[in-house]
Structure 1
Amino acid sequence: MTSRTTDWWDTLRVAEAPADAPAAFCADLGAESLLAAYRAGLFPMPAPDEYARWMNEALYEDRVASGAIAVPGGAGELPYQVSWWSPDPRPVIRPDQARLGRRLAQRLRNRLDWCTSVDRDFGRVVSQCAADREPRWLTEDLRRGLLALHERGRAHSVEVWQGTELVGGAFGIRVGPVLSLDSMFHRRPDASRVAVADLANRFGAVGGLLLDAQWDSSHIRSLGALPVSRQHYLDLLRGGPAADPPPIDLLPAARLT
């Protein structure tokens, strides 16, 4: 299924997909399918249980039948366990617009034991992002696909350390000039905010144009995200030069202030 699905993502007309519903349903969460979907401007939301799968079918079967929501193989194949989204508008963070906030910046100047790194502990960051979350969209199938992408150098994590303790982090997928942020976590106040600011700083330094925040919210706006049209996002994703991987060095978080 993977090679067929990969080709299918390339032909999906994402710009014409619903703005407030899934663009597609497809159960393939393998590394090749994930990467092709992110390149097309999509991200996955697996259903964590049978009830969620049933809700997907109940809510969207009419749009699938009409062709508004795509399914590989046509209407006879209905893998409602994974929906793929491309919201319109799309919240994005430009590297020079990521915000710590004045109070956090002041605190960081005095927190000399806080440091950040990239790709030092990808698996643990993903596990921490999945812990204590409901609904559990970060399923085992998705985690396996993400780990495979990390091994290929396409999925990256940022870690926030207090001494030797992992207190926050975030991870996402790098495609062209965009790094699509999938999730973040904190075990100390504002550690996830530091993670996003750090990743924006590093990604901008290697030619990255955007952090894709995926879902709009007041919290995402407070990090510096601004909504852009889906078409504008797709144009940047497909037309910009590819960024290099972010540097992995262990660096003091205070440098971000």
Structure 2
Amino acid sequence: MYIRTLARTRGSWEALDVLGGPADGPVAFGGDLGPQSLLAAYRRGLYPFPAATAEQRIVNELMYEAEVEAGVVKVLPGCDDPYSIAWCSPDPRPVIHVERARLQRSLRRQLRSTPDWTTTADRCFERVVRQCRTGRSEQWLTDDLLRGLCVLHGLGHAHSVEVWEGDELIGGTFGVRVGGVFSADSQFTLRSGAGKTAVADLVRRFAAAGGRAVDVQRDGDHVRLLGARPVPREGYLALLAGRHEPRPLPTGRLPARRLAG
């Protein structure tokens, strides 16, 4: 069954029909987590969700084998064990358009009362990514994915935002930039409000760099409070394909309280 399934559904990034893929769950399995594959995926509106354990890989096969066999979920080349890497494209998808970003009142008050909080960008990318996986029960930020993201950072495609209290790193977020869209993969917080501050700062810096929208991938009250709204997959792919004149992401240290207006 397994070999026959792969033979029937194996495809490529170029041939992958993301628009016609499932709205919930993976659009594809397989491939690899090298920088070229990661960039190809983000450019097609996908993000990776690797299985960190053999048990998670088995769950993927049990849950989606029928959809793979039917060709609804595709299998990409480059991996001997395709169920170990899932590629997702939620439909709809929570997106913060930079002109509609906002800050909840309680966070504005907090930022005004913490004058020693500052923010930077790309100051310590790998440290932010590692912190984002610390203590998480769902460990999708595997070593292979971390290595691929760090290479993308070195090539100028992946970025981080850091929140500091004095010289202590207390929050951050990271993700991948594709044209006018920034796909924010994860965030962490060691002080109440620091993770939200990192996302708000990312939106502000990305707007200054000519960005149009920040994709936060997973919906929830915390991102709705920052202005995220669901965008259908077709609209999200149109954002990715839109013409854009990029400018460098501002990276300097800035006071976090400026975000409070």
Q: Which residue of 1 aligns with 2:70?
A: 66
Query: What is the match of residue 229 of structure 1?
Result: 232
Q: Determine if the alignment matches structure 1 residue 17 to structure 2 residue 18.
A: no
**How far apart are 1:73 and its partner, in Å?**
4.5
**Contact (CA 8 Å) 2:180, 2:210: kept in 1 or not?**
yes
Q: Which of residues 239, 242, 260 in structure 2 aligns to 1:239?
A: 242
* Residue in structure 2 matched with residue 3 of structure 1 by the alignment: none
Aligned mates of 1:220, 1:79 — CA distance in 2:
31
Deviations 1:66-97 (A, max 9, x none): 110011259x9651001000110011011132
* In 2: Cα distance, 1:180 partner to 1:17 partner: 19
**Quick one: structure 1 residues 134 and 245, their matched pair in 2 at CA, closer, same or farther if it must change by over 3 Å?**
farther
Aligned residue number for residue 162 of structure 2: 159
Cα deviation for residue 111 of structure 1 reads 1.4
1:179-194 correspondence runs (5 A): 179-194=182-197
> CA shift at 1:43, angstroms?
0.2
Rounded Cα–Cα distance in structure 1 between residues aligned with 2:21 and 2:193: 35
Which residue type is aligned with residue 201 of structure 2?
D
Residue in structure 1 matched with residue 34 of structure 2 by the alignment: 30
What's the counterpart of residue 116 of structure 1?
119
Q: Which runs of 5+ in 1 are unaligned?
A: 1-6
Cα RMSD for the two superposed structures: 1.6
How many Å separate the matches in 2 of 1:29 and 1:245?
25
Describe the superposition over 1:155-184 as per-residue Cα deviations: whole angstroms up to 9, x where unpaired: 000000000000000000001110000000
What's the CA shift for 1:205?
1.2
Instruction: Identify which of 115, 118, 140 aligns with 1:137.
Output: 140
Overall identity of the aligned pairs, in %: 52
* Aligned counterpart for 2:254 among listed residues 247, 251, 255: 251
**Partner residue in 2 for 1:57:** 61
Of residues 191-200 and 8-17 in structure 1, the stretch that sits farther from structure 2 once superposed is 8-17
Secondary structure, aligned partner of 1:237: helix
* Corresponding residue SS for 2:127: helix
Q: Structure 2: which 5+ residue stretches go unaligned? A: 1-10
TM-score, reference length from structure 2: 0.92
One of 198, 209, 216 as aligned partner of 1:195: 198
Contact conserved, 1:71 with 1:78, CA < 8 A, in 2? no
What is the CA–CA distance in structure 2 between the aligned matches of 1:119 and 1:199, rounded to whole Å?
Answer: 11
Q: Which residue of 2 aligns with 1:48?
A: 52
| Change beyond 3 A, Cα 1:197–1:45 | same
> Match for residue 214 of structure 1?
217
CA distance in 2, matches of 1:16, 1:38: 17
Report deviation, 1:135. Answer: 1.3
**Alignment match, 1:4:** none
Does structure 1 retain, via aligned residues, the 8 Å contact 2:176–2:184? yes
1:27 Cα deviation after fit? 4.0
Contact between 2:30 and 2:77, CA under 8 Å: does it hold in 1? no
Per-residue CA deviation, residues 178-220 of structure 1 (Å, 9 max, x unaligned), is 0000000000000011101101001011110110111112222
User: How many residue pairs were aligned?
Assistant: 250
Deviates more, 1:92-101 or 1:191-200: 92-101
TM-score, structure 1 as length reference: 0.93
Q: String of CA shifts for 1:104-128, please: whole Å, max 9, x gaps.
A: 2122112110100000010110011
